[in-house]
């Protein structure tokens, strides 16, 4: 599972990089437009995941800005990581 999360985070980081690169050096034609739309959809979906993260984990864990930024950047892969961390905490108590 560790390698799946790492691979997912790497691919997500690459996708963010391509979409942000497209803002400064637009790809020609419909590709650039599609990447701009995809950036908006991705940012919206990751913002929704941050809200889910807050509602699911705020009572069990002390959350920092870094936690929220991690979830915004890596989405479901970060959520799975925090879920695993919380499950380990609950097992030890």
Model confidence pLDDT, tens digit, residues 41-91: 999 999 999 999 999 888 888 889 999 999 999 999 999 999 998 888 888
Task: Say if residues 19 and 35 touch (Cβ distance below 8 Å).
Answer: yes
pLDDT tens, 14-34?
A: 999 999 999 999 999 999 999
pLDDT bucket at 92, cuts 50 / 70 / 90: confident
Helices 65-74 and 76-91, axial angle in degrees (round to 10): 130
Classify residue 15 as left (phi > 0), alpha (psi -120 to 50) or beta: alpha
User: How do the residues of the chain divide into helix, strand and coil, expressed in percent and rounded to 5?
Assistant: 85, 0, 15
Q: What's the pLDDT at 1?
A: 81
């Amino acid at each position: 599972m560790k390698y799946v999360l790492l691979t997912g985070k790497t691919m997500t980081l690459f996708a963010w990089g391509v979409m942000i690169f497209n803002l400064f050096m637009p790809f020609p034609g419909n590709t650039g437009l599609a990447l701009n739309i995809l950036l908006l959809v991705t940012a919206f979906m990751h913002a929704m995941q941050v809200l889910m993260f807050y509602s699911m984990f705020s009572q069990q864990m002390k959350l920092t800005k870094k936690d929220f930024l991690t979830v915004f950047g890596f989405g479901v892969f970060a959520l799975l990581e925090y879920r695993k961390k919380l499950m380990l905490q609950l097992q030890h108590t």
